[in-house]
Amino acid sequence: MLLTITTTHTPATDLGYLLRKNPARVQSFPQSFGTAHVFYSEATPERCTAALLLEVDPVGLVRHRRGPSGEGYSLERYVNDRPYVGSSFLSVALGDVFGSAWPGLTPRQWWK
């Protein structure tokens, strides 16, 4: 899954300060379901785009599952829709990766 955030407000590179992520390097954050990567595909004073790439590990989801493992080593455990269910995984990754940017803002300022 890929989520991009773009601004054209001058200077656009202030997006890096707002999100508290350095535009000059790729950052990776391990998640319980895979890995979240943050990078800037474009960072100029006129336009800046931050991207959150979420890699879901479907095999890891099955192997690290808690609770009863079910019937032996059935193929059923590996065939599921979990890698395609973006809402819950993406919301967890957003909170983990960009959570440091939220404390300074009030809920009303989030959507301006």
- Residue-level pLDDT at 18: 84
Q: Concatenated DSSP letters for 36-103?
A: EEEEEEEE-SS-EEEEEEEEE-HHHHHHT--S---STT-GGGG--SGGG-HHHHHHHHHHHHHGGGST
Q: Mean pLDDT: which of 9-18, 41-50, 59-68, 93-102 is highest?
A: 41-50
The pLDDT tens digits for 52-110 are 999 988 777 777 655 455 455 566 666 666 556 667 888 888 888 888 776 655 555 54
Q: Where are the domains of the chain?
A: 2-110
Interval 5-24 mean pLDDT: 89
Assigned fold of 2-110: c-terminal autoproteolytic domain of nucleoporin nup98 (3.30.1610)
CA 6 to chain centre: 15
